[in-house]
Structure 1
């Protein structure tokens, strides 16, 4: 076979070098534009999703509490507790004394006036009874004299002295009249005595009432705790006056924490007892809860949730409790703080 050989002579074809390819410059403006567009679209989609799928509501963490107040003004004598102190049922919290208010003072003055009238009336009745007794005594003496004269006239008539008849008849009329007057005075004394007994009973009732009322206002009282809990507020100090219906102190129980949630009235059809919700706390923590109950009527939205310069809104108020009892301590730490509550508008499962 014939061997094939390449020519080894130098070629006259020149090779041209390709120019270097320039790298494309990054279009920063386009990237920024795309990022902004993506962010806007994400926010729009999220807003549309949340507006149609998620229900948002404001709420506050609440704990069961007992507020101590009184129907009368009181003077605080001694306080045996302080804010933040744990108390148990049966502990003595403070010593106080009940004060008279204007109504009690007016009632006392009215009773005093009534008692003064009773005293005057008793004196008047006793005086009248004594006068009647004197009149009865005098009339009885007159009656004896008249009876003696009647006996004398009867003896003369029996002796045949008929001229004594007119005198005898007159004496009998006088006797009858005196007897009637004595009887009337005795009956009047009976009525006066009955009235006097009634006044005595009324006065005794007044004295008993005054005595018991004085005991109430002069007695030192002790307030005993009826629940276990923590003293959260003490509004008055020793020797200060706590006016009626004002809070003296507040005891909070460290259990059964819940969220009082204010839902928009338009969401009524999507809310039911037992529905699960998410509770977003101020520290960013999210806990699961459930709606335990709804309150009977709608309530005005608290001022901290109310938008400024807008009409006051009324909302459906629900109580949300922790889904797990283990989360309750976390809820207690945020007492009286605002939280955000979220719920799915539709129950998919």
Structure 2
């Protein structure tokens, strides 16, 4: 029993000692692994024409990221001309095919009527012979003549319709030639506008090597003077933004060593590079829900050496815990 009591007492002393150490000897705060970044913005209003990168792409200094034009009063007119001609207008072809088909059908109908007229005329001649011989009555001749006349009238009507269609087809061909001529002018105007427009297109090249961050503007969007097109994160210049409470201000000094605990449980060493006395709202992901906005002191923490810096890159944009000892001797 005495041994059990000693073990239990030792465990309680260790547990409460550890809790007291963490509560009073250590400061544990939230942080996020960040790369130093630059914003891409302009002194003039510009319109993005073509975006050549996506978020997360790695770029090298000198790479073209996007093309753009500076907004000017005459730019919209050039842009409209540039995109006006579509080259897909085949209405004349469809209409000519339809008219030609109608002509063929009406010619076929007329040929059929010609055949009927010929048959009726033969029937009329045979009927006249029988009447002459007295085997048929003469009153049967008149209906056949009437039918032949009706067929002749129908044939004449079809011929007139065919002639009208031929005239329309001829006008279509003339209009098509005129349209081709006009389209040729439109094409020439488009090519001239394209040449003038392309002379205004500029390309933005990155001055640094890094990763493409958030892209705020898409193709054909206007970027105003106060806005940013995108952000570029500098490779190799990695740090952690840590958020200390205002009451920790006296425990922070440039050059202090801290322990960084990543989400997978691995640990690393870093140094306080800079901190900002003014307090800033803590990022939403570190705020407690339904509680007033907490303000914090932002602290920049850099890797202790190159090995640590290379290790931090794999945790880019991840949340971390930053552990800072209150006592120099415990760092």
TM-score of the aligned structures, taking structure 1 as reference length: 0.52
Aligned match for 1:239, one of 202, 205, 220: 220
* 2:307 alignment partner in structure 1: 326
Structure 1 position 77, deviation (Å):
1.6
Choose from 29, 48, 58 the match for 1:76.
48
Cα 1:252/1:91, change in 2 over 3 Å: same
Describe the superposition over 1:102-139 as per-residue Cα deviations: whole angstroms up to 9, x where unpaired. xxxxxxxxxxxxxxxxxxxxxxxxxxxxxxxxxxxxxx
Deviation of the 1:65 alpha carbon: 1.3
Query: Hey, what's the Cα distance between the residues in 1 that align with 2:202 and 2:315?
Result: 36
Report how far residue 312 of structure 1 moved: 1.6
1:299 to 276, 280, 284: 280
Question: What is the Cα-based RMSD across aligned positions, in Å?
Answer: 3.4
Equivalent residue in structure 2 for 1:63, among 35, 39, 59: 35
In structure 2, stretches of 5+ residues that fail to align are 74-195
Per the alignment, residue 268 of structure 2 pairs with 287
Cα contact 1:72–1:245 (8 A) shared by 2: no
Q: Larger radius of gyration, structure 1 or 2?
A: 1
Q: Give the C-alpha shift of residue 243 in structure 1.
A: 5.0
User: Corresponding residue for 2:59?
Assistant: 87
Contact 1:79 1:238 in 2 (8 A): yes
Per-residue deviation, 1:290: 1.0
Residues 268 and 238 of structure 1: CA distance in aligned 2, closer, same or farther (over 3 Å) = closer
Deviates more, 1:254-263 or 1:72-81: 72-81
Q: Deviations over 1:147-178 (max 9, x none)?
A: xxxxxxxxxxxxxxxxxxxxxxxxxxxxxxxx
**Counterparts of 1:55 and 1:82, CA distance in 2:** 39
User: Partner residue of 2:206?
Assistant: 225
Task: Work out which of the residue numbers 291, 295, 318 in structure 2 matches 1:337.
Answer: 318
Distance 1:261 1:59 in 2: 4
The structural deviation recorded for 1:38 is: 7.5
Deviates more, 1:254-263 or 1:74-83: 74-83
Please state if 1:49 is matched with 2:24.
Answer: no
One of 92, 97, 106 as aligned partner of 2:69: 97
**Structure 2 CA distance, aligned partners of 1:339 and 1:280?**
6
For 2:40 and 2:247, how far apart are their aligned partners in 1? Answer: 38
Partner of 1:310 in structure 2?
A: 291
Whole-Å separation in 2 of the counterparts to 1:79 and 1:301? 33
Residue of 238, 241, 249 corresponding to 1:257:
238
From 228, 232, 247, the counterpart of 1:266:
247
Work out the CA distance in 2 between the residues paired with 1:243 and 1:341: 39
Measure the CA separation in 2 of the matches of 1:269 and 1:239: 51
Distance 1:301 1:237, change over 3 A: closer
Gaps of at least 5 residues in structure 1 are: 1-26, 102-214
Question: Would you say how many aligned residue pairs link Structure 1 and Structure 2?
Answer: 208
Q: 1:35 to 1:306 in 2, by over 3 A?
A: farther
**8 Å contact 1:72–1:100 — kept in the other structure?**
no
Q: In 2, are the aligned partners of 1:260 and 1:317 still within 8 Å (CA)?
A: yes
Q: For residues 311 and 43 of structure 1, do their structure 2 counterparts lie closer, same or farther at Cα, with a shift above 3 Å needed? A: farther
